[in-house]
Structure 1
Amino acid sequence: MAIAMPALFKADERAHAAYAVALSQGTLPTIDTDIPDDPVRYPQLADSLFGADEAHRDIWVANHPPLFYVMSLPLVWLGDAVGSPGVTLLGMRLLNALGFALTTIMVGFVARELVPRRPVVPVIASAMALGCGAMTFVGGGIYNDGWSSAAAFLTLYLGFRMVRRGVTRERLVAATAVGVAAAGFRSTGLVAVLFLGACVLMAMWLREPSLRTFLRTTLWRAVGLAACVGLAPVVVFGWFYLRNIRLYGNPTASGFLFEKFGREPDGTTFSQLVDPGFYGHLLSSLWADGNISNAWGQVAAVVLTLTAIGLVMEVVARSGPPGAGFLQRTRLAPQATAEHRQDRVIWTLLGCYCLLILVNVAGFVAGGGWIHARYAVPFLPFLAAGAALAALRLGRLVPQRAPADDETRDLRIGLGVSLAFMVVGLMCHLDTEQHVDGPVSSTFALAALVAADLVMFAVAAYVATQLRRRMQPSEFDTAPAPVAPVTDIARDRPQDSTADARTSRPT
């Protein structure tokens, strides 16, 4: 979509582009700074301002931290050097598209942490992200959402890795650096940093033999490390949020923007949270946003319905007596007690992360904001992992010509479901092309999208292959041997007896 849409086609694009232009001129804009109206140097920006009201002639996205726009400065300078601002605009679109591509991959990696013993789950999860028509449409515009989502998911992923592998200096430094970047792209990155700190606390707790030992020997060290993780973004980008408070009264300038655009409140946060229509609109936006036909919102209803049915069947198959057919238990690699606790902690942390983001979105809508697909992206890892598990269970309803073990059957189901999601994404793109009169032919745009999808699918398949190779059942037969820690940040001690691992039963 980056090459298929006309320049500055989407509403916020000119404001995001103008933010980068203002930075290139040595100015950190406010939400009242004028968008450059220079028909010679920036003809596209000048043309887009024709007929715009006063509020929409300003850089109203200047409430966002500047990291994405700092990354865009070389593109602005390149456009100025070659005398073509179109190079800058297309470059910023491609920069956002790269961020969304990384987001798609990170959806799979986070899903892998949620369901570590089903190697095909990351493939299905990433394919579901590719199948969301709005991901392609939003990813083709000038937005900071691609990189902010990728950084937030990577922050969570690194936190979850510490829950599973322990806290070392290298992991802590890497996670803190990514957390700082997440806070520098959007304010929602601060939520990911908050849960990164929670991951550090939980990781160090799980490495102790008991809660009492943790409270007596490790608690304050864990709190100190979590505080360092949280303070790093404050040190680097705290000045910007303090600037927003001084200029607009709060860190995100939401109230100031509502007043600027004449938005009217729509109930309360609680009333939005108990309104089923709020959830339907939020989730359907992944397939019906902007110029995408509302009919594609029905895909969300189908996916959610099948996910609910499949998850119920999965729970019945796991908790009930051994069944047959589609309710037969899946034979998985044995799981030690510690690994089961890690699973529960990670699911709980991600669920709480989604809940906090949900409350923020509900508050934004209650204040007069609109729902866009960008606000539903943070829920993708949680939704995609659940949808993948449901698909693997529902796939058992399809008869197979040749008998196969559980892993082979999962692989077949996963490939089929992944291809189905990508076909949905392509069809949604083709339908959108009918409503967007872009500078290139729809045939060329379709070929580019197919090529990109194939690359992403190849990456996901490679990840699944590596996971399948590395996660052999023999790795779970015995408890991991004690390994000397890289640093003394957290003691690395075995948590489960060999007997616990060997006597585990498949679920």
Structure 2
Amino acid sequence: MGAPSRHALGLSVAVAVALAVTQALAVAPFTAGDEVAHLDYAWQVWHGRLPVFEEGLTLRPEHAWIPPVQWTAQHPPLFYLLLAPLVGPLADAGHPVGAMYAARLLGAVLAGVLVLAVRWAAAGVARPGSPLPLVAAYVTACSAVVAQAAGTVLNDVLAAVLTTTLLGLAVRVARHGLSGPLAAGLVVAAAACALARTSSMIVAAVCLVGAGLGGLVHRQLLRTAALTAATLAAVAATAGWFYARNVRLTGTVTGGNPQWALTHQGREARSLAQVLLDPVTWDRLPNLFWWGPVVPRPVGTLLLLGVPLVVAAVTHRRVLRGPVRQVLPVAVPLVAALVAVGVQTTYATSGGGLYPRYMLPVVAPLAIAVAAGLSALTAPRTADAADAVGTVGTVGTVGGPGRGGRAWRRWVLPAWTAVVLLDLALWLATGQGGSAGAAMTRPPDTPVGYPALTGPAWVSAVAAVALAAAACTAVVRLLRAGAAAPRAPRDPAPPEPSAR
């Protein structure tokens, strides 16, 4: 990766961190029940125990909204092991607000790590030299949902980092075959996913199946069998005890209590057909770019996500044709995204919420698809399937043949960025809660509470806007330069791997 690419990637990481810090500062402490429950989990881990659903919260900060039960108790403990050294000492010293802000800032760091992970995973999907991974990293950095989940005490971003890493390993196995380092990485990442978030395990399973198919396609039967056995053993050894505990306490592996939610939270069960036919499902679930209720949510869904996805589908319509070795690295993330949608819509049938952050385990496939559409509009030659994802053959470009030098093209990514940042500014200016479920101020019927750090939040937001402008400029330059450069040669056919 050359200096311009490193510069663009560094700016994208800074954008993600700045947006997450903005979220962390703008939202008043303890305005979301999930946040204080996650904080309590970390505090209990610091004291050497795990929470129990029916026992409620042990850490009960003054002025905090306290949920009636410990509804994060079903989550595996990895995230809370990371939080415990930050939360425990501060909470014990009587500074729960400081503990909360420390936990939020750790989430901001994880947002930057997620951008790096998406870039790395996308590089396994894309052709060598393609700008697509950098565009995907930038798209991830601009995601409102990434910032909201990272700037709130939630375990979603850590789970997304791990599933994205696992996806990157799987597509490399699909493309190049199993090697010792890739196999070791898959085993470690799978075990970490099992300890991070239960729902991410299904996406992890898709990635592992893809890696196994990659090993078989490359005629590595013995290595694939060894990988399967090692992964199962590692997951059982590291996380089996926790899921056995869930079964003992709740009767289910997931540890969820859907009946309690139906009874006490006003939720209702629906059929799968009702969920699938509900427009709100498709307006809300995949929307990674909506900050708050000022700009209508369909704007984010249609303009920021829908249009790039349609363009990507048109310009890359042949990527699933060709030899299995070339199709599999693209098919694995696609199937992972479809499975994630299926899992969340099924979850909604029992009264579960449809929150965009639940799609973060597949943020990489979504970011890659959005990046492919934006790249095709900005620099049509990058819409060539051979340039983008390394498959055989080319496809038509959006806007027709030729140099693709229409002046409007260079403004596509800046315009997309401007809509994202305008939504952020309106959210900050109005002080209304966004899709993370937290409020920027205490409700009117709660006169006593902690104020949001609105002034520092605006400073962070201005910094994020400046960084986003610089990152956008750098990415557009790389896209335009890539469109003008000679085509890179296709990957040579790999040698036949050993069957061992």
Code of the aligned partner of 2:254: T
1:425 is matched with which residue: 416, 420, 424?
420
1:278 aligns with 2:281: yes
Contact 1:296–1:428, Cα closer than 8 Å, also in 2: no
CA deviations on 1:9-57 (whole Å, 9 max, x unpaired) are 333111000111111222211112332365xxxxxx23114xx5xxx23
Is it true that 1:14 corresponds to 2:36 in the alignment? yes
In the TM superposition, what is the alpha-carbon distance from 1:477 to its structure 2 partner?
7.0
* CA contact 2:262–2:351 (8 Å) conserved in 1: no
Deviation at 1:94, TM superposition (A): 1.3
Does 2:158 correspond to 1:147? Answer: yes
Which shifted more, 245-254 or 9-18? 245-254
Partner of 1:46: 62
1:30 aligned to which of 39, 44, 52: 52
Give the CA deviation at 1:143: 0.5
Query: How many equivalent pairs are there?
Result: 435
Question: Does structure 1 residue 440 correspond to structure 2 residue 454?
Answer: yes
Instruction: Indicate which of 123, 134, 143 corresponds to 1:132.
Output: 143
- SS of the counterpart of 1:79? helix
State the alpha-carbon separation in 2 of the partners of residues 104 and 408 from structure 1.
31
Residue type matched to 1:347 in 2? V
**Closer, same or farther in 2 for the Cα pair 1:66/1:473, shift >3 Å?**
same
Matching of residues 469-484 of structure 1 within 5 Å: 476=490, 478-479=492-493, 482=495
* Change in 2 beyond 3 A, CA 1:181/1:396: closer
Alpha-carbon offset, residue 267 of structure 1: 1.7
After superposing on structure 2, the runs of 4+ consecutive aligned residues of structure 1 that deviate more than 6 Å are 406-410, 412-415, 454-458
d(CA) in 2 for partners of 1:48, 1:81: 16
> Which residue in the other structure is 1:214 paired with?
none
1:68 maps to which of 79, 95, 99: 79
Match of 2:272 in 1: 269
- Cα displacement string for residues 416-454 of structure 1 (whole angstroms, at most 9, x for unaligned residues): 544444433322221111213422314323234336647
Q: Which amino acid aligns with 2:271?
A: T
Tell me by how many angstroms 1:279 deviates. 1.7
Matched residue, 2:206: 195
Tell me by how many angstroms 1:221 deviates: 4.7
| Pair 146,124 (structure 1): closer, same or farther in 2 beyond 3 Å | same
**Deviation of the 1:355 alpha carbon:** 2.3
Secondary structure of the equivalent of 2:286?
helix
Equivalent residue, structure 2, for 1:231: 233
**Residues 421, 230 of structure 1: CA spacing in aligned structure 2 closer, same or farther, 3 A cutoff?**
farther
Matched residue of 1:2: which SS?
Answer: helix
* Structure 2 CA distance for aligned equivalents of residues 112 and 69 of structure 1: 30
Alignment-derived partner of residue 505 in structure 1: none
Structure 1 residue 457, shift from structure 2 partner: 6.5
Report deviation, 1:125: 1.9
Aligned partner of 2:132 in structure 1 is 121
The structure that has the greater radius of gyration is: 1
> 2:73 is paired with a residue of what secondary structure?
coil
1:374 is displaced (CA, Å) by 0.8
What is the DSSP-based 3-state SS (H/G/I as helix, E as strand, rest coil) of the residue aligned with 2:112? helix
Structure-2 residue corresponding to 1:41:
none
Q: 1:384 Cα deviation (Å)?
A: 2.6
1:176 to 2:187 alignment: yes
2:295–2:423: 8 Å Cα contact kept in structure 1? no
Question: Could you state the TM-score of these two structures normalised by the residue count of structure 2?
Answer: 0.75
1:348 paired residue number: 331
Post-superposition CA distance 1:240-264 (Å, at most 9, x none): 1111122112122333553563454
Q: Percent of pairs identical after alignment?
A: 21
* Letter of the 2:239 counterpart: F
Compared CA separation, residues 408 and 166, structure 1 to 2 (3 A)? farther
5 Å-filtered alignment, 1:454-465, equals none
Q: Structure 2 unaligned runs (5+)?
A: 1-22, 382-400, 432-439, 442-451
- What's the offset of the Cα at 1:76? 2.1
**Mapped pair 1:92 → 2:103:** yes
Q: Which of 282, 286, 289 is 1:287 aligned to? A: 289
Q: Distance in 2 between matches of 1:249 and 1:427?
A: 47
Query: Taking structure 1 as reference, are residues 3 and 375 closer, same or farther at Cα in structure 2, changes over 3 Å only?
Result: same
Structure 1 residue runs of 5 or longer lacking an equivalent are: 39-44, 209-217, 320-336, 399-405, 492-507
Match of 2:376 in 1: 393
Q: CA deviation at 1:409?
A: 6.7
CA contact (8 A) 1:37 1:46 kept: no
What's the counterpart of residue 311 of structure 2?
310
Partner Cα separation in structure 2 for residue 130 and residue 149 of structure 1: 13
**Matches of 1:98 and 1:109 in 2, distance apart?**
17
CA separation in 1, counterparts of 2:191 and 2:471? 27
Please state whether the residue corresponding to 1:389 is helix, strand or coil.
helix
Distance 1:228 1:274 in 2: 41
- Answer yes or no: is 1:450 the counterpart of 2:465: yes
* Structure 1 residue 300 corresponds to structure 2 residue 301: yes
Change (3 A) 1:294 1:251: farther
Q: Is the 8 Å Cα contact of residues 241 and 251 (structure 1) preserved in structure 2?
A: yes
Residue identity in the other structure for 2:175: R
The one-letter amino acid paired with 1:266 is A
CA contact (8 A) 2:286 2:359 kept: yes
CA RMSD of aligned residues (A): 3.8
Counterpart of 2:10? none
Aligned partners of 1:198 and 1:226 also within 8 Å? no
Amino acid paired to 2:40: A
Helix, strand or coil at the partner of 1:57: coil
Contact persistence 1:258–1:368 (CA under 8 A)? yes
- Counterpart of 2:81, as a letter, is V
CA pair 256-118 structure 1, distance change in 2 beyond 3 A: farther
**In the alignment, which residue of structure 1 is the partner of 2:261?**
258
Q: Take 1:393 and 1:131, find their aligned partners in 2: how far apart are those partners? A: 19
Quote the offset at 1:126 in angstroms: 2.3
Name the SS of the counterpart of 1:394 in structure 2.
Answer: helix
Which residue pairs with 1:367 in the alignment? 350
| Alpha-carbon distance between aligned partners in 2 of 1:407 and 1:20, rounded to the nearest angstrom | 57
Displacement of 1:220 after TM fit? 5.4
Partner secondary structure for residue 48 of structure 1: coil
Q: 1:79 to 1:115 in 2, by over 3 A?
A: same
2:302 maps to a residue whose letter is A
**Conservation of the 8 A alpha-carbon contact between 2:115 and 2:141:** yes
1:67–1:423 distance in 2 versus 1, CA, 3 Å: same
Superimposed CA distance per residue, residues 195-247 of structure 1 (whole angstroms, 9 cap, x where no aligned partner)? 23313322222323xxxxxxxxx545523422322331222111111111221
Question: Structure 1 residues 474 and 143, CA, compared in 2 at 3 Å: closer, same or farther?
Answer: closer
Segment of structure 1 superposing worse, 83-92 or 57-66: 83-92
Contact 1:2–1:140 (Cα < 8 Å) also in 2: yes
Deviations 1:98-123 (A, max 9, x none): 22222233333333333325622122
Conserved 8 A contact 1:148-1:182: yes
What's the secondary structure of 1:32's corresponding residue? helix
Q: Is the 8 A contact 1:308 1:390 kept in 2?
A: yes
CA contact (8 A) 1:31 1:58 kept: yes
